[in-house]
Every structure is written in C-alpha cells, then in structure tokens.
Amino acid sequence: MEFLFAITIGVLVASAVYLMLSNNLLRFIFGLVLISNAANLTIFVAGRLTDGAPPLIPEGADAPLVDVANALPQALVLTAIVIGFGLFAFAIVLVFRAWTTLNSLTPDDMRRAEPEEAHK
Amino acid sequence: MSWLLALPIVIPFITAVLAFLFRVSSWGRWISVAGSSVLLAASIALMNAVLREGVIAGQMGQWPAPFGITLVADLLSAVMVVITAIVAVAVSIYAIADVDEGMERLGYHALFNMLIAGVVGAFATGDLFNLYVWFEVMLIASFGLLVLGGRPEQIDGGVKYVALNLVSTIMFLTGIGLLYGMTGTLNMADLASAVDGADQRLLTVVAVLFMIAFGVKAAVFPLFFWLPASYHTPAFAVSAVFAGLLTKVGVYALLRTFTLIFDHDTAFTHTILLWVAGFTMVVGVLGAAAQSDMRKILSFHIVSQIGYMILGLALLTPLAIVGAVFYLVHHIVVKANLFLIAGVAQRIAGGTELSRIGGLYKSAPLLAVLFVVPAFSLAGFPPLSGFWAKFLLVKAALEIQGWIIAGIALAVGLLTIYSMTKIWAQAFWEPHPDGVEPKLSLLSSRDRAAMLVPIAGLAVLTVIIGVMPEPFVQFAEASAAQLLDPSAYIAAVLGEQP
C-alpha cells in the first residue's frame, strides 16, 4: 500500500513540477495544487497506513481497546488542506487580477515591478 | 505562566478584529496604535519573566507536551517578541500618515495586526506544525498587505512573492511530514532527542528540505528572487514591516531548528550554510550596487545582511551565535527605519528614484541626521549597533581561522558603505533636479509627527545599542548559550527528566 502511495506522490510531484515550469501562471497554480496534495499524502503515509479501527474510545474505558488508526496525521492533513484552500483561493484571484491588469499570464512578460531598462 | 506566553499572540488578534470592525472610521488606526502599545507592554512583561525564571513553557489546553501544542519562550524568543512589538508600535504610528483612507477601508490595520500575530506566534511556538500554521497566518496577511491598493507593480511583485512563498510552504510541509514519519513527534524539544534514533542520512535529507523552506523565507542565495521583485511595491509602512520582520522569521526558524534539531551532521549542513552565507552577502550587496531606486537598494541590502546572520549560524561557535543573535535584533530596528525614512523622502521629494530626487540635506537636515544613523549602522560604522554586530561575527570567523569568509564579510561591509553613500550623495547632497526644496514642512503637522516620531525612536534605539553594547552583548551571550545547550529549553517543555 505504501508503495502505491509512493508512486502516486511521485507522479503528482512530477506533473506538478512540469506544470509549474511551463511558463504560464494558471498552469503554475494548478501545479501548486497538485504538489500540495502530494505533500498532504506524504504526511498521511508518514503516519503509517494501518487497517485499524477508527480511533474512538468506548464509554467507560481510558484507552482504545483494539488497534486503531493514527489520528494525528489526519488532523495535520486536514489543517493543511484548509490552509491550502485559503491560500489557493487567494492565489487564483491574484492570477486573475494579474490577467486583467497586466494582460498577460506569462511570467516572462511581467516586468512592471522590475523594468528591464532600470539601470542607467 | 502560560497566559503570559499566550498574551502577545492574543493581543494582536483582538486588535485585528477590532480594527476590522472599525475600518471605515478613523478609529481603526488608533486601535492599531493602542493594540501595538499593549503588545509592547505584554512582551516586556514576558521578557521580564524569562529573565527572572529562565525558559518558560506553557501547554495550551493543558495537554502535556509532547502531545499538545506548546508555547515556549527562551531568551531568543522573548527578545524577538519584544523587537516585533517595538516595530509594530513604530509602524502603526507611521501608518497614520502613510496609509490612506482607501487602504484603511480595505482592512489595512486588520491585516497588519494579523501579520504581527503570525510573527509573534512563529517566535513563541515550540511545535513544528504549529510553526507552519503561524507561517501561514503571517503569509496570508502579508499577501493581502502586499497587493492592497492594486497598482500594476504591486500585482506583478505580488505574483512572484506569492508563488515562491507557496512553494517554500509546501517544502516545509513535506519536511514536517517526513520528520513526523521518522520520529513520531513534532514537538521541537522532543525532536531534539527523538532524532537521535532516526536514520541519520534520511535526517540530513529532511534537514536540507527545511533549509530550503526556511531559506526561501529568509531570502538567502539562491532563493531570494521574490524579495527584490516585490518589496519596493507596496505602501512604505508595509514594506518597512516586511523588511524588518518577515525575512527574520525565516532566519529565526533556521537558527532554532539548526541548533536544536538538525545538529547531527554539522559538517554537511552547516558547510552548505556557510557557502550560502558567503554568496548571500556578496550577491545581495552587488545587486544593491546596480540599483538606482532607494527602496530597491534597501531591498537588496536585506538579502546581503541576511547573509551575516546565516554566517553566524553556519560557524556555530558560541561567539558566532552571539553575533547572529545581536545582528538579528540590530538589523530589524535599522532596516525597518531605513524604509520608513524612504517613505518620508518619497512624500517630500516626490519619489525614491535617486536620479529624480535631491536636496534633502539642505532642506530637511533633521531627516538627513535621522538617515545617517541607521545607514551608517547598516554599513557597520562605530559606535553604532551595526559595528558591534559585524565585529562579533568577523571576530568569530577569525577565531576559527575562517580568513576568507571574514574577508568577505569585511568587503561586503565596504560595499554597503558604497550603496549608502550613493543614496546620501544623490538624495541628500545633490540639489533636486526639478529645483524644488523638499522641506519637512511640506507635510501637515500631524503627518510630520506621525512619520518622524517612530523614525527618531528607532534611531535612538540604534544609538543606544551602539553606545552601550555591553548589556546587549551579555544578553546575546546568554541567549546563544541557551541555543547551543538546549537542555534548559527541553527541560522547560518536557518537564525535568531523569
């Protein structure tokens, strides 16, 4: 199972890097979404994949009675997903704004902040 | 004592909420000033407690470490929180004059205080995943501040800033995941010993992931390109607080993790850091020499100065860490101040492009004096704070026969003088090309007070650190001792261990 996850993460990262290097901001954002999901899966796998039960403690007991799944990586991934959602929402709006104000999605054309003839 | 630790994080959060509610009235800016002042008081109280009792740790929600979220303040954390509060006060006063109503309506003060909350949280946390969360709080607030106003340059700079910082964030997250997989803990104090049992080679890989992630935040060579692309575009109050605080959070994170957790293979990791430090210093200062805009010059100088701090970490001798800590504190004060001064120059002389301004020395001698203090301090003139910072680092390098790196540090200091002289000659000395006299009286008396009081305050602080370095160096020594021997830190977090 870990092997399958490792392959998936590898494919995700490879596609992400390809997209991020393709000189188009929108593709860059898509690449970022993919690579962030690869990071989330990494955390998930790092918490060990088990076929344990949900980590619930029955009433009256102090500890789970059977082997349970590790809940912490899931909490971490959930936090990361929520944060990532916010960041990507912002990033997509920013790219849209860049499209409307700068009329380009090609990073090479975006020289407003650093004009090329700056040194005189 | 845990309330004392939580207070500096809670105060800016509350201030942000209040400032957001009052964003359409003029109350927002006063709430921001008041909130920052209360934050300063709280951070001084925290500092007092740390000086009195040593390292303080608090477990949030009473979950014992390493299971819950730990807040912990040693001397380094405490001083960083204090200096953050000082910059917050200075910039929130300055913002009264610099930030217009349009930006206030869009929630400038709320974002600013959110940013401060994120910065303080990053300094105060004792948990890696929690550090990631604080980085994100800081990041999303800084995104907002950077593009507030929406001029094309801001959008352009913002895209680059956002893109590279998001990549660094994902690196950081991956590193956290792998570290958790190897050790089963993310509490920094717990990790200090837990990493001993892990595969050391794999640990080095993770260390390098962290180095890249924090390196992007700290703007070290070759990961700094987002900084000079974006720092000259937003409002001056915004770029001052960015210049003062944001990159230093990255440096702090490097300083913390590479003394506490990743000190297993210093021959490998810290050698990389040494090369990085050298290149960062040189490339930053050469980049600055090629620029002709005041804010762009200052932006490149942030990069070059970060190199000095990384140098302290890379050498990893007690004296070098003392130098790094001293440099960190001195640099925040000086750099924020220089950006604030650039803001005044923009207002009265009509720009920051050096060829289009001038005459500030003759018409605004007070501003000239106030510029000289941080500019000479940055370059390392005695008796200002920058001299002692550079002196400690160069001495540390010479002590371990690092002749080359010491030579680089000195040469970069010289080139820094070149850039500062360029600003001085063109903006202050030469007459204004359009013949206008950039007098301070061009500002309304309210704006003049709001802009010059924080600048003067920070300049006085620079002089005080410079003239009386003894207590500050002693403090940095105590702080470096804690970093190099983290047993007190670990004991405070995990409790006394057999």
Indicate the residue type of A73. P
Flag whether residue A55 sits within 8 Å of chain B, measured between CB atoms.
Answer: no
Mean pLDDT of B196-203: 85
Of B440 and B103, which is predicted with more confidence? B103
Question: CA–CA separation, B217 vs B212, rounded Å?
Answer: 9
Task: Name the most confidently modeled range: B191-195, B231-235, B250-254.
Answer: B250-254
Residue B317: count other Cβ atoms within 10 Å of its Cβ.
16
pLDDT digits (tens, 9 = 90+) for B143-161: 999 988 888 888 888 888 9
Residues of B in contact with A97 (CB under 8 A): 147, 150, 155
Tokens for B425, please give them. 């000659």
- pLDDT category of residue B29 using cuts at 50, 70 and 90: confident
- At residue A120, the pLDDT reads 40
3-state DSSP of A25-78? HHHHHHHHHHHHHHHHHHHHHHCCCCCCECCCCCCCCCCCCCCECCHHHHHHHH
- The answer to whether B159 contacts A73, with C-beta atoms less than 8 Å apart, is no
Range of the domain at B269: 265-488
Residue B191: exposure state from Cβ atoms within 10 A (0-12, 13-18, ≥19): buried
Mean pLDDT of chain B: 88
Residues of B in contact with A94 (CB under 8 A): 143, 147, 155, 158-159, 162
Q: Is residue B223 part of a domain?
A: no
Question: Splitting chain A (120 residues) into consecutive groups of 10 residues, what average pLDDT does each group show?
Answer: 90 94 90 92 86 80 81 89 91 90 81 64
- At residue A12, the pLDDT reads 95
Nearest to B313 by CA among B382, B371, B379, B260: B260
- The answer to whether B228 contacts A98, with C-beta atoms less than 8 Å apart, is no
pLDDT of residue B497 exceeding 70: no
Flag whether residue A16 sits within 8 Å of chain B, measured between CB atoms.
Answer: no
DSSP string, B382-439: TTSHHHHHHHHHHHHHHHTT-HHHHHHHHHHHHHHHHHHHHHIIIIIISPPTT-----
Q: Is residue B32 part of a domain?
A: no
Residue B187: count other Cβ atoms within 10 Å of its Cβ.
24
- The answer to whether B139 contacts A87, with C-beta atoms less than 8 Å apart, is yes
pLDDT digits (tens, 9 = 90+) for B271-314: 899 999 999 999 999 988 888 888 888 899 999 999 999 999 99
Of B66 and B418, which is predicted with more confidence? B418
- pLDDT category of residue B254 using cuts at 50, 70 and 90: very high
- The answer to whether B133 contacts A95, with C-beta atoms less than 8 Å apart, is no
- At residue B350, the pLDDT reads 80
- The answer to whether A83 contacts B136, with C-beta atoms less than 8 Å apart, is yes
Where do we find the tokens 């004296």? B319
Mean pLDDT of B116-123: 94
- At residue B1, the pLDDT reads 57
- CATH of the domain spanning A2-50+69-104: 1.10.287.3510
- The answer to whether A46 contacts B156, with C-beta atoms less than 8 Å apart, is no
Percentage of chain B beyond pLDDT 90 is: 37
Q: Is residue B165 part of a domain?
A: no
Of B177, B229, B355, the CB nearest to A113: B229
Domain count, chain B: 1
Name every residue whose Cβ is closer than 8 Å to that of residue B41 and which is 6 or more positions away in sequence: none
Mean pLDDT of chain A: 86
Chains A, B: CB pairs < 8 Å = 114
Residue B52: count other Cβ atoms within 10 Å of its Cβ.
8
Residue spans of the domains in chain A: they are 2-50+69-104
Q: Is residue B141 part of a domain?
A: no
Looking at the DSSP assignment, which residues form a beta bridge with residue B70?
B59
- The answer to whether A120 contacts B177, with C-beta atoms less than 8 Å apart, is no
pLDDT of residue B469 exceeding 90: no
CA distance B185 to chain A (A): 10
**Which of B128, B134, B153, B170 should be substituted to probe chain A, the one whose Cβ sees the most A Cβ atoms within 10 Å?**
B170
- At residue B489, the pLDDT reads 86
CB B406 within 8 A of CB B394: yes
Q: Give Cα separations from B270 to B194, B308, B355 (angstroms).
A: 21, 14, 42
- At residue A119, the pLDDT reads 45
CA distance B278 to chain A (A): 25
pLDDT of residue B187 exceeding 80: yes
- Indicate whether this complex's ipTM tops 0.85: yes
- At residue B498, the pLDDT reads 42
Residues of A in contact with B180 (CB under 8 A): 43, 46-47, 72-73, 76
- The answer to whether A112 contacts B153, with C-beta atoms less than 8 Å apart, is yes
- The answer to whether A111 contacts B155, with C-beta atoms less than 8 Å apart, is no
- pLDDT category of residue B361 using cuts at 50, 70 and 90: confident
- At residue B15, the pLDDT reads 92
Instruction: Fill in the DSSP letter of residue B69.
Output: -
